[in-house]
Structure 1
Amino acid sequence: MTDQNPPQAAALSESTGLPKPKLTITYCTQCSWLLRSAWMAQEVLSTFALEMGEVSLIPGTGGIFEIRLDGELVWERKRDGGFPDVKALKQIVRDRIDPSRDLGHIDRVGR
């Protein structure tokens, strides 16, 4: 039997030729956090559609909620005291993939 779905090559940035960032959200299925996770993934993709190589959701158990960017843990529900709001999540992603980028009203709300 042959593999019908060979692994895809990582998406590469046109400007640098380097792999584009990969964001993963691991969420607890027992806690019903799929919709929250999907919404956060959608928000990241709506802001960073061209910059992201992949955004994926990973089901887990035991109250897990972790967000990783290129394998680096950037948010952990237990460690960081709950869930990030979308503003914080977008700023975390921006600060790691394009620190000079202006997020528009997100960077100015509450200042």
Structure 2
Amino acid sequence: MTHDACPELPCLTIRYCTGCRWLLRAAWMAQELLTTFEQELGQVALAPGRGGVFSVLLDGELIWDRVRDGGFPDIKVLKQRVRDRIAPDKALGHSDRPAP
């Protein structure tokens, strides 16, 4: 799934549980990702859900799920997962993995 105005750029979706009141967490993560990947993402969408859902999809591929991955993503880990798929050569500064 791509953004209509920029079909060549990836679309990221954060699905969050409205009953759990996770909108602020989802919005903060969206802001962080848009700031970090302002040239690499075509869209970051917030999608309300139910049943304790908190998941992050990149072009329809699940890259984080609260149940599967054991809670909420650390923003550094989420940025790394997004970067690894859309801009593998991009340095993330202090959010990057330590050098091996």
Of all paired residues, the percent bearing the same amino acid is 62
In 2, Cα distance between the equivalents of 1:39 and 1:48? 14
SS in 1 for 2:96: helix
Q: Give the match for residue 68 of structure 2.
A: 79
Please give the root-mean-square deviation of Cα atoms over the aligned residues, in Å. 1.8
Task: Choose 1 or 2 for highest CA Rg.
Answer: 1
Deviation at 1:100, TM superposition (A): 1.3
Aligned length: 98
TM norm structure 1: 0.82
Out of 4, 11, 24, the residue aligned to residue 9 of structure 1 is: 4
One-letter amino acid of the counterpart of residue 98, structure 1? A
Which consecutive aligned stretches of 4+ in structure 1 deviate over 6 angstroms post-superposition? none
Structure-2 change in CA distance of 1:107 and 1:60 (3 Å) = same
Confirm or deny that 1:28 pairs with 2:23: no
Structure-2 change in CA distance of 1:31 and 1:68 (3 Å) = same
One-letter amino acid of the counterpart of residue 31, structure 1? C
TM norm structure 2: 0.91
